[in-house]
């Protein structure tokens, strides 16, 4: 009985620790109050008894100040929707236009906004912005369905901010990701779900058709490495939802991104990244996250089983020892090293400054870094979130929007991307599942 009494006391103490709230100041000098949710007592008990593992670092509640920032952003962007159900970023030649209703809708921007609405807790049948979300889905579906089969993009628009800065085929890439994200919310509407699946496969085929032999996507813009990186992400996510993704195309896409970073020297290839280290290194982090996670999980398991020494590094040689074939061992150990080094570079203050001021490209890079860390099941993601959420709250406009100061200046596109960053912990479970190798 004494043993059980002592254990009960220990459990109560452990539970209390999980409920502790604390206030901190980020590098951007914005205060947040961060709270970690408690794990149910039954789960704590099973963890203590060794029946399951606790991963409290991924149980994260959005700070109250960030929630307010998100709500203000959502209110602004909902009112920015055009009559046709879409949103637009505007022309590259008129970056000075900040009125969201003075620009033409485009599939890329609409898809980013729609994904932000989904991540913020809305669905096609519920939530404050369900109506806007349904209209955006119809807009994107019509864009895909009206595009000729021989075209590699889904719009005849040219010269948008997003196309010039990211790439001519960015619309189909972001539309693919939005359609993938939509599928799980359509289980009660088989007809619409089948329509989305069909259009998703159309997008996937167009992305793969636009892929060059080196794994990049044709039509590269000023920071084309980001277009190619998001294409890799889109193919990966679509494959997880059962879309017709060519394994070889996905492998080429990942390899292209990983090759932009040399983990041994720390050098970064920025030829397709406008000379900006941030754009390339965030893509390298994202492309290697899933494989790096597999390495860590397999090596940790081997150490628990006694097949590797506790201090054994995740080298190619050790991966061969635990069952990887020679080529796989080299591929996975390289990915692990790229991820571990690139994620650090992507969070350096001087690297995060990007082009020197905030633009849509910087926001996209931050988003990639954060998603990479969660996909890789990296416990340090909350430290990244503390820092980046402070940055985002500090630079939000008084009307609730965000805007760029160079290149992608569109308040609609920038607001959507910032909302995706700030509400990222709503998708932690989904991102962790995406990072699980089948």
Give the model confidence (pLDDT) of 112-141 as tens digits: 999 999 999 999 999 999 999 999 999 999
Helix axes 107-119, 64-79, angle to 10 degrees: 140
pLDDT surpassing 70 at residue 362? yes
Give the model confidence (pLDDT) of 258-311 as tens digits: 888 788 777 766 766 667 788 888 999 999 999 999 999 999 999 999 999 999
Q: In whole angstroms, what is the distance from residue 154 CA to residue 169 CA?
A: 8
Region 226-231: mean pLDDT is 94
Confidence (pLDDT) at 333: 95
Query: 85: how many CB neighbours lie within 10 A of its CB?
Result: 20
pLDDT surpassing 60 at residue 37? no
Percent of the chain whose predicted confidence (pLDDT) is above 90: 68
Inter-residue contact 108 to 175 (CB < 8 Å): yes
Max intra-chain CA distance, the chain: 77
- Contact residues for 327 (Cβ-Cβ < 8 A; gap 6+): none
Query: Where in the chain are the domains?
Result: 63-434
pLDDT surpassing 90 at residue 84? yes
Query: 132: how many CB neighbours lie within 10 A of its CB?
Result: 22
pLDDT surpassing 90 at residue 70? yes
Selected residue with higher pLDDT from 69 and 277: 69
From residue 158, alpha-carbon distances to 10, 67, 211, 303 in Å are: 63, 36, 19, 54
Q: In whole angstroms, what is the distance from residue 177 CA to residue 80 CA?
A: 22
Give, in degrees to the nearest 5, the angle at Cα 106 between 72 and 191: 90
Confidence (pLDDT) at 27: 36
210 pLDDT band, cuts 50/70/90, is very high
Inter-residue contact 359 to 407 (CB < 8 Å): yes
pLDDT surpassing 60 at residue 39? no
Inter-residue contact 170 to 112 (CB < 8 Å): no
Structure tokens at 367: 């988003």
Q: In whole angstroms, what is the distance from residue 384 CA to residue 282 CA?
A: 13
- In the block, tokens 């409920």 appear at 19
Provide the residue count of the chain: 438
Confidence (pLDDT) at 306: 96
Class of domain 63-434: mainly alpha
């Amino acid at each position: 009985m004494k043993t059980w009494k002592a254990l009960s006391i220990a459990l109560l103490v452990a539970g209390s620790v999980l409920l502790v709230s604390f206030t901190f100041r980020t590098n951007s000098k914005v205060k947040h109050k961060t709270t970690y949710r408690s794990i149910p007592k039954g789960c704590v008990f099973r963890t203590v008894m060794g029946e399951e593992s606790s991963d409290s670092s991924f149980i994260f509640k959005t700070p109250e100040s960030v929630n307010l920032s998100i709500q203000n952003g959502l209110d602004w962007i909902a009112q920015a929707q055009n009559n046709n159900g879409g949103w637009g970023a505007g022309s590259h030649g008129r970056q000075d236009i900040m009125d969201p209703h003075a620009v033409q809708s485009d599939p890329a921007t609409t898809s980013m906004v729609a994904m932000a609405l989904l991540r913020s807790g809305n669905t096609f049948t519920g939530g404050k912005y369900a109506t806007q979300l349904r209209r955006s889905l119809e807009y994107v579906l019509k864009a895909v369905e009206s595009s000729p089969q021989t075209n590699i993009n889904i719009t005849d628009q040219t010269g948008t901010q997003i196309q010039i800065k990211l790439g001519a085929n960015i619309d189909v890439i972001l539309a693919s990701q939005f359609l993938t994200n939509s599928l799980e919310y359509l289980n009660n509407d088989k007809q619409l779900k089948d329509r989305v699946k069909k259009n998703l496969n159309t997008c996937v085929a167009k992305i793969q058709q636009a892929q060059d032999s080196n794994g990049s996507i044709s039509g590269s813009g000023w920071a084309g490495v980001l277009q190619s990186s998001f294409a890799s992400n889109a193919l990966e996510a679509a494959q997880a939802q059962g879309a017709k993704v060519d394994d070889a195309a996905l492998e080429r896409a990942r390899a292209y991104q990983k090759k932009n970073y040399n983990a041994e020297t720390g050098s970064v290839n920025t030829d397709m990244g406008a000379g900006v280290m941030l754009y390339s290194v965030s893509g390298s982090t994202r492309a290697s996250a899933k494989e790096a996670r597999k390495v860590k999980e397999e090596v940790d398991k081997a150490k628990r089983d006694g097949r590797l020494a506790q201090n054994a590094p995740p080298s190619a040689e050790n991966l061969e020892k635990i069952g990887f074939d020679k080529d796989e061992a080299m591929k996975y150990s390289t990915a692990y090293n790229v991820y571990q080094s690139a994620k650090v570079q992507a969070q350096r203050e001087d690297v995060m400054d990007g082009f020197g001021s905030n633009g849509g490209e910087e926001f996209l890079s931050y988003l990639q870094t954060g998603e990479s860390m969660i996909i890789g099941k990296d416990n340090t993601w909350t430290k990244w979130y503390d820092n980046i959420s402070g940055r985002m709250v500090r630079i939000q406009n008084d009307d609730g929007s965000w805007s760029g100061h160079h290149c992608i200046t569109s308040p609609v596109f920038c607001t959507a991307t910032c909302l995706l960053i700030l509400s990222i912990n709503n998708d932690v479970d989904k991102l962790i599942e995406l990072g699980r190798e089948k």
